[in-house]
Amino acid sequence: MSVVNVQLGKNVMIIQPDLVNLYGCEIGDESKVGSFVEIQKNSKIGARCKISSHSFICEGVVIEDEVFVGHGVMFINDREPQATAGGLLQTEKDWTVVPTKVCRGASIGSGAIIMCGITIGEGALIGAGAVVTKDVSEGTIITGVPGRLLRKRT
Amino acid sequence: MSVVNVQLGKNVMIIQPDLVNLYGCEIGDESKVGSFVEIQKNSKIGARCKISSHSFICEGVVIEDEVFVGHGVMFINDREPQATAGGLLQTEKDWTVVPTKVCRGASIGSGAIIMCGITIGEGALIGAGAVVTKDVSEGTIITGVPGRLLRKRT
Amino acid sequence: MSVVNVQLGKNVMIIQPDLVNLYGCEIGDESKVGSFVEIQKNSKIGARCKISSHSFICEGVVIEDEVFVGHGVMFINDREPQATAGGLLQTEKDWTVVPTKVCRGASIGSGAIIMCGITIGEGALIGAGAVVTKDVSEGTIITGVPGRLLRKRT
């Protein structure tokens, strides 16, 4: 069991509590979290979200209500990550978390990668395997590497 | 240990039974399943398959005998996933599983994403990181995002 | 706990020892290993590296000191994987491990896939979601599928 210091809403479903790593985050009412998910401190997930297996949600990510996060989705909070600074292992003092926001009702397809510093608009759909590098307008569908507008969502 | 209600063939090897999430599925004789794998109910894996670590096999997927599934491969069974329907968390009644089939002897490279409603032909090879969006002919090699024919397999 | 037969340097941090699968490998001083990581036998990780959650490091991979490996990064050691050889499940005798080397100070973005038989040069940066198919020169930035030179790193 690795659910430590998590502020859980009502009826949050963690499908396999032994197979997740959640710490210092907030998860809203009725949301579901699949297996092999890691959610870091200082991230926030709204109500009635689905966070599917194998996904990683990092510090600095805010996910509003009713968002679907597919399987194996990776969020990022550092544009140019490094293991060390000046020859020593980096600590939190050596970088600034770049925040990302996913607005209400958006869906992120499996295997998508979400670069940092962006906002994914309300009701947007990110195609499976897309690498999202910039803001996504509400109600649009983004696919590909790098992610490009496919069309408006109907 | 999270292997629940799984119909296992003879000599199935689950490398780390404590680090998988398998339920309601069928796995054929001598197949191998790596760590951090999730296999959902109503999916079927044939004999002498290798399902590598970090992969996700969802409901509606049928994998024939002697198929290689690389690491971090994601299957999909819903074209336009949503967290909620009418403001309430979706339940199984709110969507239809779109099936996918992987034919005998095919190999799926690591990190590939397999959209739903498709058939991957016998002996096909899916390149690492490909996003497969349509049927794959037998004995062909598919690479890229979206996946395109590279050449026949020799 | 699945840390078996691992040669650990001083002060190696394995964040969630119950949620990793490490065996027969070598990990250098002060390196950090995230959750849901698998590191196979006959791979070697240097000192002061960060191996982030959900990554897979296979046999034949050598990672030098001060390398950052993002989340969900997949290494590969076989160009054309197969489940079976002559109708029987493959064994180690049926393939040759193709080695890969990541040189000092390189950073590999989340979700990147590293094909085998290549060298990633010192201080290179692999963009998130890139599929690296050939050697990467030191100090360069590679992005996309397949990975292409974006520019020199400054």
Q: Can you give the pLDDT at residue B67?
A: 98
Q: Collapsing DSSP states into helix, strand and coil, what is residue C148?
A: strand
Selection from A57, A58, A74 nearest residue A110 by Cα: A74
Read off the pLDDT band of B95 (50, 70, 90).
confident
Lowest mean pLDDT among A100-114, B65-79, B80-94: B80-94
Q: Collapsing DSSP states into helix, strand and coil, what is residue A135?
A: coil
Give me the CATH code for the A3-79+96-152 domain, please: 2.160.10.10
* Mean pLDDT score, B110-123: 98
Spatial distance between the Cα atoms of B121 and B104, rounded to a whole number of angstroms: 8
Cβ contact, residue pair B113, A129, below 8 Å: yes
Where are chain A's structural domains?
3-79+96-152
A98 CB within 8 Å of a chain B CB: no
C6 CB within 8 Å of a chain B CB: no
Q: B4 to chain C nearest CA, in Å?
A: 19
* Mean pLDDT score, B40-51: 98
Read off the pLDDT band of B13 (50, 70, 90).
very high
CATH 3.40.50.720 fits C3-77+95-152, yes or no: no
> pTM here?
0.98
Q: Please write the tens of the pLDDT for every residue from C10-41.
A: 999 999 999 999 999 999 999 999 999 999 99
Size of interface A-B (CB pairs under 8 A): 86
ipTM of the complex: 0.97
Neighbour-count burial of B99, counting CB atoms closer than 10 A to its CB (0-12 exposed, 13-18 middle, 19+ buried): middle
Four-CA torsion B56, B62, B66, B72, nearest 10 degrees: -10
Cβ contact, residue pair C72, A72, below 8 Å: yes
8 Å CB contact between A105 and A122:
yes
Q: Can you give the pLDDT at residue B1?
A: 58
B139 CB within 8 Å of a chain C CB: no
A38 CB within 8 Å of a chain B CB: no
Which chains have 3 or more CB–CB distances shorter than 8 Å to chain C? Answer: A, B
The dihedral through the CA atoms of B39, C50, C128, B112 has a sign that is negative
What is the overall mean pLDDT for chain B? 97
What is the overall mean pLDDT for chain C? 97
Q: Can you give the pLDDT at residue C84?
A: 97
Nearest residue of C to residue A87, measured between CA atoms: C66
Mean pLDDT by 10 residues, chain A (154 residues): 91 96 98 98 98 98 98 97 94 92 98 98 98 98 98 93
Spatial distance between the Cα atoms of B69 and B111, rounded to a whole number of angstroms: 10
Largest CA distance in chain A: 52
Q: Can you give the pLDDT at residue C154?
A: 83
Total Cβ atoms within 10 A of residue A20: 26
B92 CB within 8 Å of a chain A CB: no
Four-CA torsion C74, C109, A20, A91, nearest 10 degrees: 130
Largest CA distance in chain C: 52
Q: Collapsing DSSP states into helix, strand and coil, what is residue A75?
A: strand
* Mean pLDDT score, B13-17: 95
| B146: preceding bond cis by omega (within 30 degrees) | yes
Q: Can you give the pLDDT at residue A2?
A: 84
What's domain B3-78+96-152's superfamily in CATH? Hexapeptide repeat proteins (2.160.10.10)
Spatial distance between the Cα atoms of C39 and C18, rounded to a whole number of angstroms: 14
**Segments in chain C below pLDDT 50:** none
Cβ contact, residue pair C36, B50, below 8 Å: no
8 Å CB contact between A49 and A88:
no
Closest by Cβ to B128, choosing from C83, C88, C115: C115
